Amino acid sequence: MRLVVDLNRCQGYAQCAFLAPDVFAMHGDESLLYNPDADEAQREYVERAVAACPVQAILVDQVETPAGAAAGAATSAQEAPRER
Amino acid sequence: MSVDGFLQRLRSEGRIVVVGASLAGLRAAETLRAEGFTGTLTLIGDEPYEPYDRPPLSKQVLLGRASAEHTALPRRRAIDAEWRLGVPATGLDMAAKRVRLADGDEVPYDRLLIATGVRARPWPNEAEAGLDGVFVLRTRDDAVALQRRLAEEPRRVFVIGAGFTGSEIASACHERGLPVTVAERGDAPLVGALGGVVGRVAAELQREHGVDLRTGVMVTRLEGDSAGRVRAAHLSDGSEVEADVVVVSLGATRNTEWLAGSGLGAGPRGIACDAGCRAFDIRGIVTDDIFVAGDVARSPHPLFGYQFLSLEHWGNAVSQAEIAAHNMLSDSVDRRPHMWVPAFWSSQFGVSIKSVGVPSMGTEILIAQGALAERRFTGVYGYQGRVIGAVTFDQTRWLEFYQHLIETTAPFPPPFPTVDRRSDGQRPLPADFPDPSVPTHGPTVTLSGYSPADRRITFTPGRH
């Protein structure tokens, strides 16, 4: 699953690093490192982290993006809404 | 046809083309769909990859904690776009409303968004830049190549330029246990963005972590061995540093060459646009159908004296893209101004560095909280008696407060006693930004060698 953290918003509360430690890790006191392409098995933990973030800085995919959807010229990406 | 009728048709069956398939292009496309655009949407990108995030490339990717191939940006919504990836735009015909592509195709548009961003400024000497082991870091491919070479444990990495990217690369090398030398023409790292007072802290941070930091020097030459691999860098102080990896971090160049001759107001400093993201043509007249967003844009900011600011900031790309997309579909009275307060972050040597406002406009700095010596502080920049910017080292949570002061043009020095008063914070200091008229910030040419045969010209491009 894809994710991105708006690090302008992030204030280092470390809730994500606590709830999904295999995806988010503090690096020093306030810096956050994260894996932008987390394993699908981590989804439940990541979604908890998304919900718990005090500044709502974590964005995860809102639609399925099949591999190669946007690759190659003149292809049209068919993105179906993901069931949530 | 009435203007309203035109907008209605545009929204339902118009053709919108976005040139630049990175953060700004993607977020603009999502906003267009979110605002009800149901026409044809085409995204054109020179790289063969779907939009991906760049900040991780100089941080977790170089640390080996994420893969450069997997930083694709999450999608906020489906955008149902026609993707033209791996095909750079090569020209614009404003009269015919068409974008020319490198493969000869032409794509017609009713509204065009230009978000072509910037690219890494290469080492100016082409032969030296082509040596094996010489890298830049901007794209996914750059990161893959550099990460692979760092994994081979080079004996020494040499970084040219101690801006944010160069400093982050040095930090990653240090963490990987690789010996690293950084050469910076200014007096300290980050000095152009944050000034000398903060730059000296950044310098101490590097040296304490074992980085061989050389300031006030220029790299005059990169030397290769007989196999075409880089082996050493020669510096203006006469010294030589042996290194088998060289990373050139000399800032970025705006991707506007493809617009040459188009009549659009585009040049090396970017594409000028109004606060509503509409591009200016070379006559200084704002266009109705061409919009700009992201690193390539220069737009006037009311909060900063209406100066045309060109910001290579992640948050600016997102915000400007959303505004541009909204305005592309809106009547003039419904358009919004792009008034995002500049903000950026960097992470290096375990310290989170963040900034709001425009520190480089500041003439003075006051350490409002914390202490420079502790590497944990909030610096407030003053310009003509008002707060113009702020920087924090591991004090992120205070930044929002100072952003509010900037937004409300609060007086400088701030009149209130701070909660965490230290000796550093008693009075403002000169912020010590480099004089823009000295070579650090302009292009320079240096001559070396005595006999006509080994007379050498080194061109070092300006930074802006």
Please state, in angstroms and rounded to a whole number, the distance separating the CA atoms of residues A21 and A49. Answer: 10
Per the prediction, chain B carries an average pLDDT of: 92
Chain A contacts to B (CB-CB under 8 A)? 1-4, 6-8, 10-12, 25, 27-37, 59-63, 65, 69-81
**How much is the average pLDDT of B166-170?**
98
Q: Is B106 on the interface with A (CB under 8 A)?
A: no
pLDDT averaged over chain A? Answer: 83
Residues 6+ away with beta carbon under 8 Å from B239: B214, B217
**Chain B window 313-352: which residues touch A at a Cβ cutoff of 8 Å?**
314-315, 318, 343-345, 347, 349-352
- Put simply, the answer to whether B347 touches A27 (Cβ < 8 Å) is yes
Q: How far is CA B365 from the centre of its chain?
A: 23
Give the total residue count for chain B.
464
Q: Which amino acid is at B288?
A: D
Confidence of residue B463 (pLDDT cuts 50, 70, 90): very low
Question: How far is Cα B67 from Cα B69, in angstroms, rounded to an integer?
Answer: 5
pLDDT at B90: 98
- Is the Cβ–Cβ distance between B157 and B147 less than 8 Å? no
Alpha carbons within 13 A on the beta-carbon side of B394: 18
Cβ under 8 Å to A: B residues 163-222:
none
Whether residue B35 is predicted with pLDDT greater than 90 in this model: the reply is: yes
Interface contact B82, partner A, CB < 8 A: yes
Q: What is the pLDDT of residue A84?
A: 33
Examine the pLDDT at B127 and tell me if it is beyond 80.
yes
Give dist(CA B36, CA B141) in Å, integer: 35
Q: Between residues B440 and B225, which one has the greater pLDDT?
A: B225
pLDDT at B415: 81
Q: Round to whole Å and give the CA distance between B112 and B97.
A: 8
CA B200 to chain centre: 22
Cβ-Cβ pairs closer than 8 A, A with B, add up to 132
Q: Give me the phi and psi of B339, to 5 degrees please.
A: -125, 35
Judge whether residue B71 has pLDDT over 60. yes
- Cβ atoms of B269 and B275 within 8 Å: the answer is no
Band (pLDDT 50/70/90 cuts) for residue B434 is: confident
Of the partner residues A11, A37, A77, the one whose CB lies closest to the CB of residue B67: A37
B38-60 mean pLDDT: 97
Query: What is the predicted ipTM?
Result: 0.88
Q: Facing residues of B448 across strands?
A: B456
3-state secondary structure of B223: strand
CB–CB contact A71 B48 (8 Å): yes
What angle separates helix B164-175 from helix B191-208, to the nearest 10 degrees?
A: 10
CA distance B117 to B316: 12
Task: Please tell me whether residue B281 adopts helix, strand or coil conformation.
Answer: strand
Determine the residue of chain A that is closest to B79 in CA distance: A79
Alpha carbons B295 and B316: distance in angstroms, whole number = 8
Predicted pLDDT at A79: 41
Q: Smallest CA–CA separation between A23 and chain B, in Å?
A: 10
pLDDT of B302: 87
Contact A73 B70 (CB under 8 A): no
Is the pLDDT at B425 greater than 90, yes or no? no
What pLDDT, in 10s, does the model give residues B133-142? 999 999 999 9
- CB-CB neighbors (< 8 A) of A31 in chain B: 347, 350-352
Give contacts of B 378-437 with A, CB under 8 A.
394-397
Q: What is the mean pLDDT of residues B81-92?
A: 97
Mean predicted confidence (pLDDT) in B297-326: 93
Phi-psi category of B166—alpha, beta or left, where left has phi over 0 and alpha has psi -120 to 50?
Answer: alpha
Average pLDDT over residues B397-406: 94
Q: Which residues on B lie below 8 Å from A38 (Cβ)?
A: none
Are A61 and B74 inside 8 Å of each other by CB? yes
Nearest CA in chain B to A68: B50
Q: Which of A34, A63, A70 sits opposite B85 (nearest CB)?
A: A70
Q: pLDDT per residue over B108-120, tens digit each?
A: 999 999 999 999 9
Q: Does B56 touch chain A (CB under 8 A)?
A: yes
**Measured between CB atoms, which of A62, A71, A72 is closest to B76?**
A62
Query: What's the half-sphere exposure (Cβ side, CA atoms, 13 Å) at A37?
Result: 16
Contact A37 B70 (CB under 8 A): yes
β partners of residue B84: A73, B44
* A53–chain B nearest CA distance, Å: 14
Residue pair B327/B361 in contact (Cβ under 8 Å)? The answer is no
Decide which of A78 and B404 is more confident: B404
Q: Do B74 and A2 touch (CB under 8 A)?
A: yes
Helix ranges, B329-409 (H):
399-407
Task: Give the Cα separation of B188 and A16 in Å (integer).
Answer: 34
Tell me which chain B residues have a C-beta less than 8 angstroms from the C-beta of A23: none
Angle between helices B314-328 and B23-34 (to 10 degrees): 40
Percent over 70 (pLDDT), chain B: 91
Q: What is the pLDDT of residues B328-338, one digit of tens each?
A: 999 999 999 99
Q: Which of B43, B49, B78 sits opposite A79 (nearest CB)?
A: B78
- Taking the CA of residue A39 and the nearest CA in chain B, the distance in Å comes to 11
pLDDT in tens, A28-37: 999 999 999 9
Which pLDDT score, from 0 to 100, does residue B423 have? 60
Asked if pLDDT for residue B177 goes beyond 80, the answer is: yes
